[in-house]
Structure 1
Amino acid sequence: MSSGSKVVLFVVNAPEFFLSHRLPLAIAAREQGFEVHVATAEGLGVEGILVQGFVHHVLPFARSGQNPFNEFNTLVQLIRLFHRIKPDLVHLITIKPVLYGGIAARITGIQSVVAAISGLGTVFIASSIPARLRRWLVIRLYRAALKQKRLAVIFQNPDDRDALLSLNALRPHQARMIRGSGVALLDYPFLPEPDGKPVVVMAARLLRDKGVVEFVEAARLLQQRGLPVDMRLIGSPDPGNPTTVSRQELDRWAAAKLVRLSGYRDDIAEQYAAANIVCLPSYREGLPKSLVEAAACGRAVVTTDVPGCRDAITPAETGLLVPVKDAVALADTIQSLIEQPERRRQMGLAGRALAERAYAIEMIVAQHMNIYRELLDR
């Protein structure tokens, strides 16, 4: 395929997510001759998109999504945008862009669609009556959005793929598997573990679904056991998310000196270099970037035995799995790795090898470019 002046449009909720997870892909598309457009909500990352020289479009994506009129307006704005710029290929990233963008692509006759399923969201694990109603609606939206002639749906773990296949939302030949968003290995060097009191780091948005409460409870248990450990929580609350941790909870944890609260940081490589163990007790993920970065930095991982998290490690080789929502098991497993420094070191070495083998950004970008060519040549 000679891409020439073909237009690719990335649609994603937040500009910050585009910059942190898809920027290398957009740069590669431009280098191959595409005219790159990016559509996101307003946010601090818009300037970063413009600095790259991409064409940016603002869409009214709402974080909570509780107002049906706002949601319908988002769909209408997507349809208008697709009509106006007539992209040759749209790459839809995260849940709302996939659902609304897929429907808009059908209405406007977009020829080639890539949908990136980076996790199905907590609606597929919640059990309340409102959650079941939302799940019923979301399933039907997936079926409508993914009914395209030239479609590739990229999954980060097999559980999400099998879930949508079982719901008849797509056909098997449309599914692709790419393990995460990749990592620039030179930016995440493998350095020896620090000496002194062991450090355990969790880096994530401060949401209950990320396992933040379990991490803090594990810190409480380890403190009660008299185990010398420095538990560090990196990230900030997300007021637009219904499962966010409140500022009052953070203040209580800080007052109790259970964890060290570092707030949002963009120097994760340095934070992991200063740690001995990386922890993510999430309830469900696509394939968490934090664990990919931990592997690149050569750090042993403790995470939950759930879709996405278990797929980011090689169990018992690069990290250990614990049951979801089990703070006692989390504390026990962290303690076992603190007490076995040589085992940690071997896991770190295996993690770096895994990152070099499966997560190098160059490999991830090449897989995406192959999908673009396949769709546009068809």
Structure 2
Amino acid sequence: MNKIVFVVNNAAYFLSHRKPIGLALLSRGDEVHVIAPGECPVELSEAGFNYHSVEMSRKGMNPLAELSTIFALHRLFKTIQPDLVHLVTIKPYLYGGIAARSAKVPSVVSAVAGLGILFSAQGLKNKVIKSILYPMYRFAFGHNNQAVIFQNTNDRDLLVNWGVLQFKKSRLIRGAGADLSVYPYLPEPDGLPIISFAARLLKDKGVIEFVEASRILKAAVVLKLRFWLIGDPDPGNSNTVTQEQLDQWQAEGLVECLGYRTDIANLFSQSNIVSLPSYYGEGLPKVLIEAAACGRAVVTTDHPGCRDAIEPDTGVLVSIKDSTALADAIERLIKSPDLRKSMGLAGRKLAEAEFSIETVVNRHLEIYAELTLKDDK
């Protein structure tokens, strides 16, 4: 039996993106711990996971508070004595990586699920922050028995070329996977075509471009279409759209705002196209995996992470920040139902081959075994 510890910045993220891996570990008799800020969700404790709360701010840059998080993780690692820690997203893999080395944790898995806005934005502030983070990245990725999982090759190459990661430590797993039984293939419905956008409502996710594409197509008065915005604003993020903007867009008849939803498979079954015109620092957007599983043609951007989620016969790539190109791609697919159908079927095959949750879980278990076996030698 091994002790495995996951560190995430949000317990809900563990449930939506890593729970199947944790359940696979429990089923084989491992002891699984989850460290995250906030109270323990009932779903997590009922599944049999051990939960530990730790203070971890999402955006905070207070040095004392950030050091406090590192010390708290160090203390928990010393108390739990894990055989392996799995650190997911930026703060957990930076702070957890530092704490794991100082606590002498035998094996470390760091999961880079996108590099966020820091590596996609320019400007003096970002350059200063990156110069501060450089030694932290080198130390956090400097464990001698470590694997760093990437969802796309662009992020891997960026960190290797930055000089903070040895290439031999990198592993590639395309996304967090999807339960194909939960996201079944269904034929498109009859009625007005629906184009769905599902994500946090951040500007960098392409919300503005999606709305403007709707404006372009509705102004043409050639097609009657429905545009669904699925998700909520994120008040804690300076990049969020506001509720006032959503209200205005709805009043103009440009989009229907459905808010945060958990029934994505049901909503995609009612949709004809799924679009994510993102230029955010994506890993590999889960929503595009889910769209492929549901057999829906995708329109997304030629941007790291997004382009890695599709293949030429499963969707269309457009340039970032180009609402006209987005509108043109949507119009082309709306006018070509046979093309949509063929892309949807190809997307389902891609999901079955690459994105099934079983494939993703097994790949993680192989990496864990590789590290823990190495440590036993």
When normalised by structure 1's length, the TM-score is 0.97
Name the stretch that deviates more: 183-192 or 242-251: 242-251
What residue in structure 1 maps to residue 6 of structure 2?
Answer: 10
What residue in structure 2 maps to residue 290 of structure 1?
Answer: 287
Q: Distance in 1 between matches of 2:346 and 2:314?
A: 5
What residue in structure 2 maps to residue 304 of structure 1?
Answer: 301
Listed one character per residue, the Cα deviations across residues 231-284 of structure 1 (whole Å, up to 9, x for unaligned) are 000001112222111111112112112100000000000000000000001113
What residue in structure 2 maps to residue 373 of structure 1?
Answer: 369
Instruction: For residue 67 of structure 1, report the CA deviation from its aligned partner.
Output: 2.3
Q: Distance in 2 between matches of 1:25 and 1:137?
A: 33
Match of 1:251 among 247, 254, 275: 247
Listed one character per residue, the Cα deviations across residues 19-61 of structure 1 (whole Å, up to 9, x for unaligned) are 0000000000111221000001115x62221111110001111
Instruction: For residue 167 of structure 1, report the CA deviation from its aligned partner.
Output: 1.3
Match of 2:173 among 150, 175, 178: 178
Listed one character per residue, the Cα deviations across residues 115-144 of structure 1 (whole Å, up to 9, x for unaligned) are 000101110011122122122223332111
Identity %: 51
The answer as to 2:321 corresponding to 1:325 is yes
SS at 1:333 equivalent:
helix
What residue in structure 2 maps to residue 241 of structure 1?
Answer: 237
SS at 1:271 equivalent:
helix
Aligned pairs (5 A) from 1:1-378:
4=1, 6-42=2-38, 46-226=41-221, 227-283=223-279, 284-315=281-312, 317-378=313-374
Letter matched to residue 302 of structure 1? V
SS at 1:186 equivalent:
coil
Gaps in structure 1 of 5+ consecutive residues: none
Q: Distance in 2 between matches of 1:326 and 1:133?
A: 30
Contact 1:75–1:104 (CA under 8 A) maintained in structure 2: yes
Q: Distance in 2 between matches of 1:187 and 1:139?
A: 41
Q: Distance in 2 between matches of 1:145 and 1:49?
A: 27
Letter matched to residue 210 of structure 1? K
SS at 1:91 equivalent:
strand
Q: Distance in 2 between matches of 1:252 and 1:136?
A: 40
SS at 1:187 equivalent:
coil
Contact 1:295–1:348 (CA under 8 A) maintained in structure 2: yes
SS at 2:329 equivalent:
helix
Q: Distance in 2 between matches of 1:142 and 1:255?
A: 46
Contact 1:116–1:154 (CA under 8 A) maintained in structure 2: yes
Q: Distance in 2 between matches of 1:339 and 1:362?
A: 36
Q: Distance in 1 between matches of 2:71 and 2:361?
A: 31
Q: Distance in 2 between matches of 1:129 and 1:302?
A: 33
Letter matched to residue 234 of structure 1? I
Q: Distance in 2 between matches of 1:362 and 1:161?
A: 24
SS at 2:224 equivalent:
coil
SS at 1:362 equivalent:
helix
Letter matched to residue 46 of structure 2? V
Contact 1:46–1:56 (CA under 8 A) maintained in structure 2: no
Q: Distance in 2 between matches of 1:278 and 1:139?
A: 37
Q: Distance in 2 between matches of 1:216 and 1:256?
A: 11
Contact 1:126–1:132 (CA under 8 A) maintained in structure 2: no
Letter matched to residue 197 of structure 2? M
Q: Distance in 1 between matches of 2:238 and 2:66?
A: 17
Gaps in structure 2 of 5+ consecutive residues: none
